[in-house]
Amino acid sequence: MPHINLLPWREDLRKRRNKEFGVLALVTVLIMAGVVAGVDWHFQQRIEFQTQRNVFLETQIAALDKKIKEIQDLDREKARLLARMRIIQQLQSSRPEIVHVIDSIVKTLPEGVFYTAIKQTGRAINMIGVAQSNARVSSLMRQLDSSEWFENPNLIEIKAINQPTPAGSTATEVKLSNFNLNVTQSQKKKPEDEAGDKKS
């Protein structure tokens, strides 16, 4: 006798497939959620690592900036000390020269000429004085030019004045010449420079 299945097998098949599809969809969603969570965790770790690196770099940069500032302060202090040393060396080397310059100022002064003010700025010397005549001023300039300690005498101004004579003198007034001139202190060679010139 033939066997006839009267159960709704198509309905059972559909339910089974729907159940399998639901399970598969749930597994897929769980896998995707795990992948997303894993990717998110990976990028969070990288961001945290980069943040730590940034903090480390900022700390190192701040330390280097501090060291650079200290080096700059040391360079400025070094420059100030070197400038002071140069000034001290110049003063020490010019000490003997000042004695010779003062001595030469006296030796080059002709009779009938008097200084009222002498001012030196660097190697430039300004001389203000009174002479009995213009010829005396010319003689002074010639003697300054022939001195080994002076060069380039330059007369800025000469002006004739009438000076009252002392009581008891026969003349009532004496004609004098006020002068103002510049002269340059000669650059004297150091002994080692002179030795080098002799060798050459």
Q: Where do the structural domains in the chain lie, given as residue ranges? A: 91-187
pLDDT of residue 41: 92
Q: 0.75 cut: is pTM over it?
A: no
> Rounded distance, CA 72 to CA 118, Å?
43
Query: Comparing C-alpha atoms, which of 195, 181, 193, 197 is closest to residue 145?
Result: 181
pLDDT of residue 122: 82
> Rounded distance, CA 158 to CA 138, Å?
11
| Consecutive H or E run containing 35 | helix 9-107
Eight-class DSSP state of 48: H
Cβ of 185: how many Cβ atoms within 10 Å? Answer: 19
- Say if CB 112 and CB 131 are below 8 A apart: yes
Q: What is the pLDDT along the chain (200 residues), one digit of tens a residue?
A: 565 555 576 787 788 888 888 889 999 999 999 999 999 999 999 999 999 999 999 999 999 999 999 999 999 999 999 999 998 887 777 677 788 888 889 999 999 999 999 999 888 999 999 998 889 999 999 999 999 889 999 999 999 888 766 655 555 667 888 999 999 988 764 444 444 444 54
> Rounded distance, CA 12 to CA 6, Å?
12
Cβ of 181: how many Cβ atoms within 10 Å? Answer: 19
> In the chain, what is the greatest distance between 2 CA atoms, to the nearest angstrom?
184
Q: Does the structural domain 91-187 have CATH classification 3.40.30.10? A: no
> Rounded distance, CA 159 to CA 127, Å?
14
The one-letter code for the residue type at 181 is L
- Say if CB 105 and CB 129 are below 8 A apart: no
